[in-house]
Structure 1
Amino acid sequence: MLTQRLKSARKSLKLTQEGLAKKVNTTKATISNYENGHSTPSNDMLSALADALNVSTDYLLGREEKKSPSWGDEAEFEAWVNDPTVNKFYKEFNESPEERKKALLAVWEILKTQGK
């Protein structure tokens, strides 16, 4: 199940094995081994793959059919997706060079832990 879903999710994003490997900081050979069932990703790698492919780990493992991580409330998701600020951020983020994306994600990880 993992092998098929990993490959399908990667292809649906028009990513090559090399492109996915770069996103999760591994090699093309490792991704190929996962997709061909020659090896199994660690839990940390499985999470990284799910994040990179915008799917849940449960989807990759065949525990659920829904690709995307679930939102508790569909109305909440619609409001978020239609927010002009979110759309502007997404567009600018998507068009940014990889190093800027990585830097912003690192800052986000720090901000998430503040105030806990």
Structure 2
Amino acid sequence: MSIQDRVIQCRERKGWSQRELANRVSINYSVLNRIELATRPIKDQELNNLANVLDVSADYLLGRSDTPNLSEEQKFEVFKNNPELERWYYELPRSDEEDLEQLREMWEIIKRRKK
């Protein structure tokens, strides 16, 4: 199965349109359409974003694995090794309680918006 087929399959499994997935991944709808049609190659960051949003591994989308989901340990490794998230990994445990509480409140707002 091609990467395009896997993206389509995962998107449809979630019940999302191309436009909805494109919005969730923060790419233009036409870009996702061309990726799914295999008329445009997928960039590395787009692959990572799609995998994260679709809750599968990049290896699964690339066809290097038949197991769509990562184990908790693998998910942690991906998180820990993501340069954009590295700051959170190291700084969060050193934050004071008031900052952590504000962060928890913001996270709850974000989760409610996505439902």
Pair 1:49 & 2:50 matched: yes
Pair 1:63 & 2:64 matched: yes
Kindly provide the CA deviation profile for residues 44-70 of structure 1, in whole angstroms up to 9, marking residues without a partner as x.
110000001000000000001011113
The TM-score with structure 2 as length reference comes to 0.64
Kindly provide the CA deviation profile for residues 40-98 of structure 1, in whole angstroms up to 9, marking residues without a partner as x.
1111110000001000000000001011113359xxxxxxxxxxxxxxxxxxxxxxxxx
CA RMSD of aligned residues (A): 2.1
Task: Find the counterpart in structure 1 of residue 4 from structure 2.
Answer: 3
SS for the counterpart of 1:41 is coil
> 2 CA distance for matches of 1:57 and 1:111?
22
The TM-score with structure 1 as length reference comes to 0.63
Deviation at 1:27, TM superposition (A): 1.4
The runs of at least 4 aligned residues of structure 1 exceeding 6 Å deviation read: none
Q: How many aligned positions are there? A: 81
Considering fraction of residues, name the structure with more helix: 2
> 1 CA distance for matches of 2:21 and 2:90?
27
> 1 CA distance for matches of 2:90 and 2:46?
21
> 1 CA distance for matches of 2:4 and 2:72?
26
- Counterparts of 1:29-40 in structure 2, within 5 Å, are 29-40=30-41
Deviation at 1:3, TM superposition (A): 0.7
Pair 1:111 & 2:88 matched: yes
Deviation at 1:15, TM superposition (A): 0.9
> 2 CA distance for matches of 1:113 and 1:3?
36
> 1 CA distance for matches of 2:47 and 2:71?
17
Pair 1:14 & 2:19 matched: no
What stretches of structure 1 of length at least 5 have no aligned partner? 74-108
